[in-house]
């Protein structure tokens, strides 16, 4: 059964194809995970191949909400070691998901920044980023990745989905720039992603896994489209990504009106057609049989489980037992 097959990315081998998708619990205490959160992740590591921890802001103005985790300060490293040790005790690997919310930031008390002042969200009034802002964001991701490595994470994932900052650069609807990061070309739309991937790779070393969560399609008129995915995914691989985790863009982690298992599989297969690194598909999977079927179809190399693992911490163990 494919669900049980190990898979390697960079130098890291996962014991199976089950990924705990990053799901925000809004349980951080001053940006740090507490013992309750560490136990939450320990429980969901049983039987799971890879655990991706919920998003952590890298800079204060990129905070999505007040109860979000942070990777923006060295003081947090020891608290994360408790969490990573808990996951490792159960035999799973664990990644940190590094994030900047951009125009969707709130609760920080700071002005929001974005590729452009224009957004698709009427409640957002960001400031268009200048060169200094871009340099600060790149460095923020780099410093957060170094902290995550020191805290015992087996790799990091750069968040570019669900309408957050990097996804805002990728979408033509929110990127109205005319400089090197222009929203009018694929090179411009992916430039910040690639700049960050290369800078992070230089900081953490060649053997440390670096992933990207890619909001690959906006499902909106004038937004990012499915036929653009191979070019973007290849650019990310060339810039140093070891894993591409597919999700939605400005539409979020859903497709309106669709709930079938693997509802993003057209996106993940488009990415997989262009890259040699593993691809993750998340969305709508509730049983081990569904997971196995998607793997057998070639929809992705790994399958992310979100809500099902939130509601049942033993989901992975049960899935492995029921697929035969």
Catalytic site positions = 164
Closest CA to 159 of 69, 40, 276: 69
CA angle 5, 296, 309 (to 5 degrees): 65
Say whether 188 sits in a helix, a strand or coil: helix
- Burial level of 228, CB count in 10 A (0-12/13-18/19+)? middle
Instruction: Say how many Å lie between the first and final Cα of the chain, rounded.
Output: 7
CA torsion angle 24 25 29 35 (round to 10): -120
Mode of pairing for the β-strands spanning 127-128 and 50-52? unpaired
Is the distance from CB of 161 to CB of 167 less than 8 angstroms? Answer: yes
CA distance 188 to 19: 31
Q: List the structure tokens of 306.
A: 């979100």
CA distance 167 to 296: 30
DSSP 264-276: THHHHHHHHTT-S
The number of CA neighbours under 13 Å toward the Cβ of 35 is 0
């Amino acid at each position: 059964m494919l669900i049980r097959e190990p898979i390697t990315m960079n130098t890291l081998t996962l014991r199976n194809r089950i990924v705990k998708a990053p799901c925000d619990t809004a349980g951080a205490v001053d940006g740090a995970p507490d013992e309750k959160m560490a136990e939450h992740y320990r429980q969901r590591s049983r039987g799971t191949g890879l655990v991706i921890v919920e998003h952590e802001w890298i800079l204060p103005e990129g905070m999505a909400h007040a109860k979000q985790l942070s990777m923006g300060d060295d003081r947090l490293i020891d608290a994360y070691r408790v969490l990573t040790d808990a996951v490792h005790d159960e035999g799973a690997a664990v990644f940190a998901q590094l994030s900047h919310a951009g125009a969707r930031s709130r609760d920080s008390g700071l002005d929001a920044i974005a590729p452009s002042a224009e957004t698709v969200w009427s409640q957002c009034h960001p400031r268009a980023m200048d060169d200094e802002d871009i340099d600060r964001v790149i460095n923020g991701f780099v410093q957060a990745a170094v902290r995550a490595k020191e805290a015992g994470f087996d790799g990091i994932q750069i968040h570019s989905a669900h309408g957050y900052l990097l996804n805002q650069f990728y979408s033509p609807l929110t990127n109205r720039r005319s400089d090197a990061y222009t929203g009018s070309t694929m090179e411009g739309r992916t430039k910040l992603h690639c700049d960050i991937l290369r800078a992070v790779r230089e900081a953490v070393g060649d053997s440390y896994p670096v992933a990207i969560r890619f909001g690959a399609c906006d499902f909106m008129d004038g937004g990012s489209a499915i036929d653009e995915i191979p070019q973007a995914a290849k650019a990310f691989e060339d810039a140093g990504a070891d894993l591409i985790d597919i999700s939605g863009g400005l539409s979020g982690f859903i497709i309106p009106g669709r709930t079938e298992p693997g509802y993003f599989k057209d996106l993940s297969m488009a990415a997989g057609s262009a890259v040699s690194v593993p691809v993750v598909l998340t969305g709508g999977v509730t049983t081990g049989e569904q997971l196995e079927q998607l793997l057998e179809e070639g929809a992705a190399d790994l399958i992310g489980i979100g809500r099902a693992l939130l509601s049942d911490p033993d989901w992975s163990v049960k899935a492995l037992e029921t697929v035969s």
